[in-house]
Structure 1
């Protein structure tokens, strides 16, 4: 009989330890999920910021080339040609 009570006590102790560990893991998981949410938000913010800076960089390159900078003349000519083609397409569509 005492052997049975020892087994039951041992099981109770193990179950208690498992429940305790389960609660700790649930808390850690919740903290990690919250951290993940914050990090995803920051990532989106940084991606948007990068996009803004890339646009600014491209605008500056275009402005430099228009000011006579030899460094980006080819890119500017290509961009102007693309814009002219786009305008021509719009005119064609309007005349149809």
Structure 2
């Protein structure tokens, strides 16, 4: 009987230890999820900044070409033609 009591006490101690570790792991998991969410938000903001800078770069490149820079004149002409075609498509859609 004494042996059985000892086994039950050991089992309770081990179970208590496991529950404590489980709680710690849950808390760490929550912290990691919050950290992941924060990093995703930062990544999203950085992507928005990158997109804005790419648009600004493209606009500056086109403006520089129009002003008289010899570089990328052909690319600018193609871009302008593409924009004109898009405007024409919009006009056709609006007239229908």
User: Normalised by the size of structure 2, how large is the TM-score?
Assistant: 0.90
Give the total of aligned pairs.
96
Q: Distance in 1 between matches of 2:89 and 2:80?
A: 14
Q: Tell me the secondary structure at the aligned position of residue 28 of structure 2.
A: helix
Unaligned segments of structure 2, at least 5 residues: none
Corresponding position of 2:60: 60
Q: Distance in 2 between matches of 1:94 and 1:27?
A: 58
In 2 relative to 1, CA 53–15 (structure 1 residues): closer, same or farther, beyond 3 Å?
Answer: same
Q: Tell me the secondary structure at the aligned position of residue 71 of structure 2.
A: helix
Corresponding position of 2:78: 78
Displacement after TM superposition at 1:92 (Å) = 3.9
Q: Distance in 2 between matches of 1:13 and 1:95?
A: 81
User: Normalised by the size of structure 1, how large is the TM-score?
Assistant: 0.90
Corresponding position of 2:50: 50
Corresponding position of 1:18: 18
